[in-house]
Structure 1
Amino acid sequence: MKEILSSTLFDNTISDYLVVIGIIALAWLMKKRASKNITRLIFFVFRRMGRVIEEKEFFNLVLAPLENFILFLAVYISMSSLQFPAVLHFNIFKITSEVLVDRLAVGILIFFFFHTLLRVIDYLAIILEKRAATTEDTTDDQLIIFFREFLKVILVIICILVMIRFVLNEDITKILAGLSLAGAAIALAAKESLENLIASFIIFFDRPFRVGDLLKVQQIQGTVEKIGLRSTRIRTNDTTYVSIPNKQMVDSIVDNFSLRNKRRGELNLNLDLDTSFGQITQLIEELNTELSLSQITEKSILLSDVKLESFLVTIEYYTDAVSISDYNMVKQKLNMKVLALLEKLEIKIAGKLK
């Protein structure tokens, strides 16, 4: 038995292989328990910080990538104790196969680690989104989505730099120095993207509009559905989906209908020239009385012009910032009352056949 265990296969003894297999098998069996314990520890830290949602939701996000990281870490550590078989030695671009396999394994470890961190960011974003949902202001909802994406981009950049350092074995300081020298060229090449990114910060902190607002910008009218790092997405009144670069949103004149505190309406009555002074006076008096609708907060009714073909009576009114459907109902009621008064006073509209 000892002879079998001490026999060599691919530059390693059978006992070495059995130890490695045992460690990997143990890691496979214990990965879920170990991951749960680590996840509970992280969750405990968040709970102490007062950032808590359901534990199940946190486990669903973090447990799987953490299991992968722990299992592969055990595989990497156990396999590192073995001698790399001489029969598998070869060179690729002056890199030995042993170094290539080691760097590939390190790259996978780094990937699993940062994947876990990305899930933690998702968890924190969910916590903040649920808290923001309890407030009436939607600005905090936008900021959470924005900074979640922004932090993920930063984390991915850090992950790439770490891989360059430990997988490609390159000096990051030299790369960063090279980037600083090439910064002007990169800035020129990515000028539009940088402008849109800066504009997104301006939108979030200046808050000219928010998700859910009804806007008109560059002849496009619709509801804001998302404010991203590069562009703002608007659902138009025709239900089409338009993406407008954030720089254009900042540079353009944006008419935010959702921020108005009133709705304005106007009705022009072109009265026939046969209408007497007394009829016009009575019409204006009765309009002031009849149009006292609860939805109309202000109104102005006057004989605004005397034309060659008609007398112009203008009705200008304001309602609260109601929905478009409620506003149309007010408009219809007003029109119906005006028609009823014209019929009652036997006043004709100019241009009507006699």
Structure 2
Amino acid sequence: MDFSIYKDFLNYYFLGNTVSNYLWFAGILLVGYIFKTLLSRFITSVMFKLVKRFSEEDNQAAFRRMLIQPLEMLLFLVFLYFAFKVLNYPLDPTEAARANEPFLKRLAFRVYQIFVIVAITWIIARFIDFIGLIFRNRTAKTASKLDDQLVPFFVDFTKVLVYIFSFMVILGSVFGVNVAGLVAGLGVGGLAIAFAAKESLENLLASFTIFLDHPFVVGDLVEVNGITGVIEKIGFRSTRIRTLEKTFVTVPNKNMIDKPLNNLSLRTFRRVSFDINLTYSTTSAQIKAITAELQQFIDEHPRTNQDGRIRFHSLGNSSKDVMVLYFVDTMDWNEFVDIREEIAYKIVDIVEKHGADFAFPSTTVYLHQPGDQEVQAKLINPAASDQV
């Protein structure tokens, strides 16, 4: 077999490079695409050993899941660099940014640099997320709720610093901007930027006020600006609330401290207040017996305090009204609902026990006709009086 034909083909020049160069280029890219996932998993396993003693063994899967994508991107960029190194250029690509080269060549190299910096920033941000995961697992085992909200805050704050630093690196390394001079020369421009970011700065300062003053912590049930829900996360710009309807509301931190806030979790008791409407046929003796027995039940209940009041307090349009007021000694919503249901069943039992009935809206109409006795009609629905 004559191999000279293949040799000539491999040495054939096309656009300044041989076919052999192009094959090496394609081969390196193919190897990088195939092995980037395997190499990423190997690197994450090695990196996890560095933080293993601070973490739990179960976190290795989370660590790999967080870092494998940015590592794949960075490794592919490395293979891409070596692939282009086998090709011949009129000028080395690392010198293209400094020489008087065509715009497209300089643009391609700068875009490559930006992608490398973005990939490294992505890896650092994911690593910070994993450190935050370790601390969140630890704070979940403590009784204090303050550390539960500090960890997400500092994780987000650190990531913002990393993003700002990466942006500065891009300006300085890729575009050749004098970053130190830029920062020093902001002057009036810096004031304009600060004014434009006024809302963000106010929310950032409000977040520090929340951490220092502790008006609420993660897990508290609060009511603010017409929104009632449980605090799920306190960030450096906003607070996230899970409402009682299970919706997710994001409130700027400025509104959390500027508006009146009712921290329902700090209540010593949960208040219950309503009226029992008894029919007008209920006698005074029945009302006294009902209120006395119900007052005794509320006073002796193990989960209510001694401030409960059961009083016959008004004569309504269609009922005799008994006020029921008591306080349940619990902060747990589900337990509160169960206790309230238990007391409601007991109220029904006591009213039925003494032979009384619950009233409902009604109207009594008296009809007078010449020569007839007075007729009394009790109408259940007031609207039906037009028919009589």
State the TM-score bracket (shorter-chain normalisation).
Answer: 0.7 to 0.9
**Residue 227 (structure 1) aligned with residue 239 (structure 2):** no
Q: Distance in 1 between matches of 2:243 and 2:76?
A: 49
2:260 match: 253
Retained in 2: the 8 A contact 1:35–1:66?
Answer: yes
Q: 1:35 to 1:282 in 2, by over 3 A?
A: closer
How has the CA–CA distance of structure 1 residues 20 and 300 changed in structure 2, closer, same or farther, with 3 Å as cutoff? closer
2:15 aligned residue (10, 21, 34)? 10
Q: Distance in 1 between the 2:276 and 2:25 partners?
A: 93
* Cα distance in 1 for residues equivalent to 2:295 and 2:34: 84
2-structure distance, mates of 1:245, 1:191: 13
Aligned mates of 1:74, 1:39 — CA distance in 2: 18
Match in the other structure for 2:347: 335
User: How far apart, in 1, do the equivalents of 2:286 and 2:19 lie?
Assistant: 113
Counterpart of 2:110 (choices 103, 110, 119) is 103
CA distance in 2, matches of 1:333, 1:299: 21
Q: Distance in 1 between matches of 2:57 and 2:107?
A: 43
Alignment partner, residue 61 of structure 2: 56
Would you say the 8 A contact 1:5–1:14 is kept in 2?
yes
Cα distance change on mapping 1:43 and 1:239 into 2, 3 Å: closer
Instruction: Tell me if the contact between 2:55 and 2:134 (Cα under 8 Å) persists in the aligned partners.
Output: no
Q: Amino acid of the residue matched to residue 96 of structure 1?
A: P
Letter in 1 for 2:340: N
- CA deviations 1:306-330 (Å, max 9, x no partner) are 99x9x99866432212524224315
User: Residues 12-70 of structure 1, C-alpha deviation per residue, up to 9 Å, x if partnerless?
Assistant: 45665565555555545554454344322211111144465343332232223213212
Would you say the 8 A contact 1:212–1:223 is kept in 2? Answer: yes
- Unpaired runs of 5+ in structure 2? 365-388
Equivalent residue letter for 2:136: E
- TM-align CA RMSD: 4.5
In the aligned structure 1, how far is the partner of 2:22 from the partner of 2:247? 62
Gaps in structure 1 of 5+ consecutive residues: none
Secondary structure of 1:210's aligned partner: coil
In structure 2, the residue matched to 1:210 is 217
Conserved? CA contact 2:114–2:170, under 8 Å: yes
**How many residue pairs end up in the alignment?**
347
Shift of 1:232: 2.7
Change (3 A) 1:337 1:136: farther
Contact in 2 for aligned 1:203/1:250 (Cα 8 Å): yes
Check conservation: 1:10, 1:85, Cα contact below 8 A.
no
Deviations 1:207-239 (A, max 9, x none): 322344322223333333443433334344456
Give the aligned residue type for 2:307: K
- Corresponding residue to 2:52 among 34, 42, 47: 47
Identity, in percent, stands at 33
Instruction: Note if contact 2:28-2:82 (Cα within 8 Å) is conserved in structure 1.
Output: no
3-state DSSP of counterpart to 1:298:
coil
CA distance in 1, matches of 2:289, 2:66: 73
With over 3 angstroms needed to count, the CA separation of the structure-2 counterparts of 1:33 and 1:214, relative to structure 1, is closer
1:148 shift after superposition:
3.2
CA contact (8 A) 1:36 1:63 kept: yes
Q: Residue 254 of structure 1: CA displacement?
A: 1.2
Query: Which of structures 1 and 2 has the larger relative contact order (alpha carbons within 8 angstroms, sep 6+)?
Result: 1
Structure 1 residues 196-205 or 253-262, which shifts more? 196-205
Alignment partner of 1:53: what SS? helix
Question: SS of the residue aligned with 1:203?
Answer: helix
Please give the TM-score of this superposition, normalised by the length of structure 1: 0.75
Query: Taking structure 2 as the reference length, what is the TM-score of the superposition?
Result: 0.69
Structure 1 residues 175-224: Cα deviation after superposition (integer angstroms, max 9, x where no partner): 22234542222221111111112222333454322344322223333333
Question: How far off its partner does 1:247 sit?
Answer: 0.7
Instruction: Report how far residue 159 of structure 1 moved.
Output: 2.2
Partner of 1:185: 192
Aligned match of 1:295:
303
State which drifts further: 227-236 or 108-117: 227-236
Query: Which residue does the alignment assign to 1:149?
Result: 156
